[in-house]
Chains A and B, each alone.
Chain A
Amino acid sequence: MTKTGNNEIYSTEEKALCLSGKGVTKVFGSGDKKCIAVNNVNFKFHEGEFVSIVGESGSGKTTLSKILLGLLNPTDGEIFFKGEPRDISSIKKRKEYWKGTQAIFQDPFSSFNIFNKIDTVLLDCLKMRGVKRSDKQEQVRLMTEACNFVNLKFAELTNKYPFELSGGQMQRLMIARIFLLKPKILIADEPTSMIDACSRATILDMLLKLREEIGMTIIFITHDIGLAYYISDSVYIMEHGKIVESGLADEVILNPKAAYTKRLINDVPKIHEAWDLDTV
């Protein structure tokens, strides 16, 4: 196992800030239909950190992930990229930002353009990395390397369409894409919630391997507190657009302070501890 997530060797103070936010707020609609999806959120993500944002549906975690990605603009607040205010006002600057910030989405089936062959996705990454279109050999070499990284055989994938793959395979291909792009920040928005438990282990394994290999910051968004505990260095717990608790994974999960975190942990079925059904 490549995991280095245990806290003895991990301490946030030593690492440089990668992405941080101050008072980030996102409001949808106005007037009576006003909905505050993200409410005055502060966060500090460090380089090489594996962070989980945990929340139930409607907690605003997906909206926050879109803001971090730069697909949505926050209504209020500021986001800092490596200590500097993030500037993604023009298309060119946005493209530059996306070279360093990438994502894996929840639903592998909707992440692919079903009309394009699978290679297209990987070729796009190579183009972004600046590999020449004419250099076929280099292209194949890099794509094969990326596929090997996620235990897929490139030769079997060429000329296939997304519908010929299983959800797990698609999600692995998304990881191969990240492997090719080598971004500084990866935002994984519930990458395992649509695939079953077995493939989930593979995906988690690969995310950890990615971090090891490239040294990126991974922001893992999930509703499963067990998963967050298993995989991350630090966690942020979100409720109704607010962050109610944050800290190192061990501290937050094993010794929760906020009532919401306590409830969340208490309500998840466990196997070694009794599941208290009466405190609902």
Chain B
Amino acid sequence: MTNTIKQIFHSPKFVVGFCIMAFILLSMIIYPLVNPGNPLEMIGLGSFQKPGTYVSLYDSIDSSSTIFKLPDAENNRISQKLKDEDRIAIMNWLIDYGVSESDINLSDTNSLLDLWWKNYDSSILVEGMTKAKRNYYMRLNKSLESAKRTEEYVVSHTDKELNELETVRTIENTDYVNIQDVANVKRLPLGTDNFGRDVLKELVSACGTSLRIGLIAGAIATLIGLTFGLLAGYVGGIVDDIIMFITNIFTVIPSFVLLLLISYSIGQDQRGASTIALVIGFTSWVWTARAVRAQVISLRKRDHVNLSKLSGHSLIRIIITDILPYIASYVVMAFILQISTAILAEAQLSMLGLGPKTTEVPTLGLMMNWSMLYAAHLNGSWWAYFPVLLTIALISFSLNLMNTGLDQVFNPTLRD
């Protein structure tokens, strides 16, 4: 036994798969402890806020500030406003204006802007330029000028009695606030989704739900498959015929169609995560049953089974002690594969809107469904779907990797 475990952990494939899975499981356990709260809480108004650290503007004003005279502050301010496409537009204008291309350095913000300030004049008409384009350049110029501005901002609040503005504070462009002193800072490593929910928190929770669905569905499918396979293979005869008949029926009906029909007929209100898991489990046992049956038929002819019969052991005892241990490794592998298929099946169902009901728990499939419904893929909010996609891929990748790793250990013909 210990030797087998040693062998399993000698298989690089298994170890890689195991590490990925362990990482996923660990983050599922640790993250909610660090960051408690309801994963479906809508914290943000407005949808699809991009990932990053959000600092409360309100609290920043009250925080004590200090002065830093940083040489590149102005440049940073400008480059924050100056996107890559703006740089290219500036270059195009300059070239059209008559500056030679070799003088322009796109990556050097200072020299580019120097050229711009020196040459640009909104009154100059460049030949062949549309009005829209001209307006764009004027807007760009204005925004760049505002970034160059050095006057302070005045923060004031309204005195209700006198009905006039009372200056609270002036803010210089050299004022800085330590982020530690700001009372409210929200880190959203994966931004928010369409409902303004923290995607990372949702993802961690969804990961747990999906794995639970996978485990339940996998366990059900393996249990049914194992029981049917053992009975059909070992008892044989009429029992085998009946079970194989049922199995064949399930084989010829595509299980996904069956899954869709059952899910649909259950209805949205009844569909919890566990119901979906049950439905998936009851539709995916077929291949396990077939494979177990084949294995058992070859085992049944082995001499140790004959010997066990001659020793007067009962059918149940022979199955449990003389057949089951031999196929245990195979069943474990089938189980792992079933988990991975069930997670994918849940994702597929949910994408089609037939997943668990949407108000209780997030699942990986539901998250995909939401981001698809609110067109995250069209407006470039990659953080709403890409991490989910990656997680699904990682989970099934790690499970499959562990499966092949185990296969190499248990199946001598695949050993190198």
Contacts and interface: CB of A to CB of B under 8 A. Distances in A.
Contacts of B310: 69, 98, 102-103
Contacts of B322: 113
A78 interface: no
Nearest to A124: B311
A107 B303 contact: yes
A103 B306 contact: yes
Contacts of B311: 98, 124-125, 128
A154 B309 CA distance: 25
A112 interface: yes
A115 B303 CA distance: 14
Contacts of B306: 69, 71, 103, 105
Contact of B312 (A71, A98, A105, A114): A98
Most chain A beta-carbon neighbours within 10 Å: one of B309, B312, B322, B326: B312
B303 A110 contact: yes
B304 A112 contact: yes
A18 B80 CA distance: 102
A110 B325 contact: no
Contacts of A103: 306-307, 310
Nearest to A107: B303
Contacts of A115: 321, 325-326
Given A115-B325, A116-B321, A110 B304 contact: yes
Nearest to B314: A91
* Among B302, B303, B308, B326, residue most surrounded by chain A Cβ atoms (within 10 Å): B303
Contacts of B312: 95, 98-99, 128
Interface string A101-126: 01101110011111110000100110
Contact of A111 (B307, B309, B325): B307
Given A69-B310, A71-B309, A113 B303 contact: no
Interface string B25-67: 0000000000000000000000000000000000000000000
A89 to B, nearest CB: 15
Nearest to B313: A124
Interface string B274-315: 000000000000000000000000000011101111111100
Nearest to A71: B306
A116 B1 CA distance: 12
A106 B303 contact: yes
Contacts of A113: 304, 308, 321-322, 325
B387 to A, nearest CB: 44
A113 B309 CA distance: 13
Contacts of B304: 110-113
A72 B347 CA distance: 50
Nearest to A162: B304
Nearest to B322: A113
Contacts of A106: 303
Interface in A61-95: 69, 71, 95
B321 A110 contact: no
Contacts of A69: 306, 310
19 contacts: A95-B312, A98-B311, A102-B310, A103-B307, A103-B310, A105-B303, A105-B307, A107-B303, A110-B302, A110-B304, A111-B304, A113-B304, A113-B308, A113-B322, A113-B325, A115-B325, A116-B321, A124-B311, A125-B311
Interface of B: 302-304, 306-313, 321-322, 325-326
Counting from the closest, the 10 A-B pairs by CB-CB distance are A105-B303, A115-B325, A111-B303, A95-B312, A124-B311, A110-B303, A113-B304, A110-B302, A98-B310, A113-B322
Given A69-B306, A106-B303, 4 more contacts: A71-B306, A98-B310, A113-B304, A115-B326
